[in-house]
Amino acid sequence: MGGLPSNKYAAVCAAGHCTVYVQVGAGVRVRQGDRWQVYCPADAPQEGGAGAGQSAGTATAHSAANRFAGPCMECSVQVEAGAGVLVPGDDGKRGVQCPVCQVVAFRCERWDESDQFGTDPWIPDAVLPGCAPAISLRILALSRECWKCKESTVCVVGLYPMHPARTDRWARWVDKDVLVWVRPLLAGAGFEKIAESIKPRWSSTVNGRYLSNGCQRCDALQGDFPVEEAVFDLVREDGVDALDTLLVVEVPTPMWQRVVHGERGSGSALLM
Ligand SMILES: [Zn+2]
Ligand SMILES: [Zn+2]
């Protein structure tokens, strides 16, 4: 018997020169200082090296792979049987976690400064094995009175999976980075007027230009702050369905996971 314990979390190999993405159980974990590091088999430190002895008595329950296919409890991306892990949700029930959300959780928990403030992307561009390549999302909108011309105007405000996991309860706020790719999707689906009204505008509140919702009639900026406030009030009362579904789109999985987690695990604003 013996050997180093296998890794509980998928992660990029901790060896400086190596960028291999190590799936759960495919590598080893080694305790270094006060944290666990994951290594691919090729870079696994020799047993008996620094810290290896400490791990011997640490009996940790290995997270089980998911026996059934299901949506990831965080990003709602469909995960095939065996491709994710089962983790406890905030309601205490176990749910499936996809390998990407697993790594983000691991890196957030580990909170290594050079990792947090590094430059490598946390969300891989390639879809990981066993995860659906795309997800259906509802583009959520709010019709409200333009502060300037008093006509009704449509603001694009949120994204929410068409088939959300039980634990994925709140829509995500559409910020200026998300509007960049939402705008052409709207234009392509016949919402040219709304798409054209999304453009860079000057805001004195933020003292800069940003890609913003505007009035379809008079072009006045519909500022993030007042719109967000109106959205929060509605959603708090009646949930996601208080907003209009403008369109349902198929979006590549990594694009959606970047919305969910932010580039480096900072997350997106939840409409709740
Ligand atoms: Zn996920
Ligand atoms: Zn107007």
**Of the candidates 11, 38, 62, which is a domain's last residue?**
62
**Of the candidates 62, 80, 108, which is a domain's last residue?**
62
Residues 55 and 140 reside in one and the same domain: no
Question: What are the pLDDT digits (tens) for 206-236?
Answer: 899 999 999 999 999 999 999 999 999 999 9
Q: Does 239 fall in a domain?
A: yes
For 239, the 3-state DSSP assignment is coil
Per-residue tokens: 186? 């709207």
Q: Does 111 fall in a domain?
A: no
132, exposed or middle or buried, with CB in 10 Å at 0-12, 13-18, 19+? middle
Distance 221 CA to ligand 2 centre (A): 8
Amino acid symbol at 171: A
| Rounded Cα–Cα distance for residues 183 and 176 (Å) | 10
Q: Does 48 fall in a domain?
A: yes
Domain with 227 in it: 134-271
Distance 218 CA to ligand 2 centre (A): 4
Distance 132 CA to ligand 1 centre (A): 10
Ligand with an atom nearest the CA of residue 146: 2
Distance 37 CA to ligand 1 centre (A): 22
Distance 219 CA to ligand 1 centre (A): 38
Residues 170 and 264 reside in one and the same domain: yes
Q: Does 29 fall in a domain?
A: yes
> For position 115, what pLDDT does the model report?
80
Question: What are the pLDDT digits (tens) for 47-92?
Answer: 544 433 333 333 334 568 899 999 999 999 999 999 999 988 877 8
Residues with CB under 5 A from ligand 2 (ion): 146, 148-149, 215, 217-218, 220
Q: Does 247 fall in a domain?
A: yes
Residues 150 and 262 reside in one and the same domain: yes
Q: Does 98 fall in a domain?
A: no
Distance 80 CA to ligand 1 centre (A): 12
User: How many domains are there within the chain?
Assistant: 2
**Of the candidates 44, 62, 80, which is a domain's last residue?**
62
Q: Does 101 fall in a domain?
A: no
